[in-house]
Amino acid sequence: MFIKGVNLGNWLVLEKWMSPHLFDGTDAEDEYYLPRQLPKEVYEARILTHRSEFITERDFAKIRHMGFTHVRIPVPYFIFGDRAPFIGCIKDLDNAFAWAEKYDLQILIDLHTAPLSQNGFDNGGISGVCRWSQTPDEVEFVLNTLEQLAERYSGRKGLWGITPINEPVTEPMWSLMDVQNRFRPVDEALACGSAPNTLAFLYSFYERAFDRISPYLSDGQYVVFHDAFQIKAWKDFLTKEQFHGKVVLDTHQYLMMAEMLGCEQSVAGYVRYVEENWAKDLKEVESYVPVVVGEWCIFNSYAVGIDTKGGQSSLNGMNYDNNQEIYSAEEKRAIYQTLAYAQLRAWQNGSGYFYWSYKLLLDTVNEPNWIGWDAWDLGRAYDLRWFPSVY
């Protein structure tokens, strides 16, 4: 089965740029500091309201109507409510399974954050800190959380897979993203010793995670390993006998990252990069393990009208004050349709994809800082015919 999926980003794991008003009244840049800068009752009311309204049954019905088959749901390490001051969200995930099963969708549970973070990104829970893999007790905490998730949902027909950890960064991406400058740590002492994960650690962690998760899974349910932004580093590991038919590799491919690697910022440049790099890599990897593109989108600097320096927003210090819409609606549609088709053709060399993301709460009309960022919003892209009917 070829997977046609979408991410439910910013629902159970917050990302400030996707819903800035959730952070009103604070200078917090990530989910770690939000409850530390709001009164307890304000934080709880804000989070619980967001979770109840951002994604509902109606969204699952719409996703299925749009032709999608799967949803990838990022969840936090505190999903079970055992890490104060955060509020757990396991009941929200229970609801998601009921909705998914009603509308014939399957779920990839994605553990998106880890204590002390696996990448130092704002989407890793705490910006500028990357010490999780150096802290054995926190590694064990994550393994226990994964086992609880596997036990709770393995009997559900809506479960397709579980990702043990999202985007654990290794040295190449740590350097490319210049993590601790792009995502400045608030507490230098807490960030002290931060460093990228090693592949040796990830090989070991993934094997332990597989041993905790796989005993609960049935045929057609998978452990899904993120490639740590090194798609070709896994052949010897993933072709081990115990993984056969039970694992999938997840790779994240963004045009903004292609730009950082030197891709020309033009429609022709993007298409050429997709065909000469991503399509070939997927075909090679798919020959020995199923691979899905767990995150991608049509966002790009060319359509924004300014070099975004790898997708940096005004929240990262980029100046968009003088940015203006430079393309007509028809021109924009042509740009995005071309890039959507190019990427969708490339993904056919693998086992499927999940678009990032289903929904944003940004005003891309009245706020110049967000011109062009509507491409991250699949619902909007679909309605505006930037994204084709799923095929």
**Cis, bond preceding 35 (omega within 30 deg of 0):** no
Write out pLDDT tens, residues 193-209. 999 999 999 999 999 99
Query: Taking residues 303-315, what's their average pLDDT?
Result: 93
Residue 158 pLDDT > 70:
yes
CA distance 189 to 329: 48
Peptide bond into 357 cis (omega under 30): yes
DSSP 226-263: E-TT-TTS-HHHHTSGGGTTTEEEEEE--HHHHHHTT-
pLDDT of residue 391: 59
Bridge partners of 162, per DSSP, are 109, 223
Give mean pLDDT, residues 113-130.
Answer: 96
156, pLDDT greater than 70: yes
CATH architecture classification, 3-14+48-383: Alpha-Beta Barrel (3.20)
pLDDT band at 367 (very low <50, low <70, confident <90, very high): confident
Which DSSP state fits 389? Answer: P
3-state secondary structure of 314: helix
% of residues, the chain, pLDDT over 70? 99
pLDDT exceeds cutoff 80 at 124: yes
Alpha-carbon distances of 120 from 78, 125, 131, 175, 297, rounded to whole Å: 17, 8, 8, 12, 22
Residues in CB range of 239: below 8 A, 6 or more apart: 288, 289
Cα–Cα distance measured from residue 77 to residue 122, given in angstroms and rounded to the nearest whole number: 15
The contacts of residue 353 (CB under 8 Å, 6+ apart) are: 3, 4, 5, 292, 293, 294, 296, 344, 347
Render pLDDT for 52-84 as a digit per residue (tens, 0 to 9): 999 999 999 999 999 999 999 999 999 999 999
Q: Domain segments of the chain: what residues?
A: 3-14+48-383
- Identity at 173, one-letter amino acid code: M
Tokens (6 digits) for 109: 């549970």
- What's the whole-model pTM score? 0.98
- Looking up tokens 């507490």 gives 187
Confidence of residue 134 (pLDDT cuts 50, 70, 90): very high
Burial of 76 (0-12, 13-18, 19+ CB in 10 A): buried
Predicted pLDDT of residue 317: 83
* Section 121-144 average pLDDT: 96
Contact 168, 112 (CB under 8 A): no
At 140 the pLDDT is 98
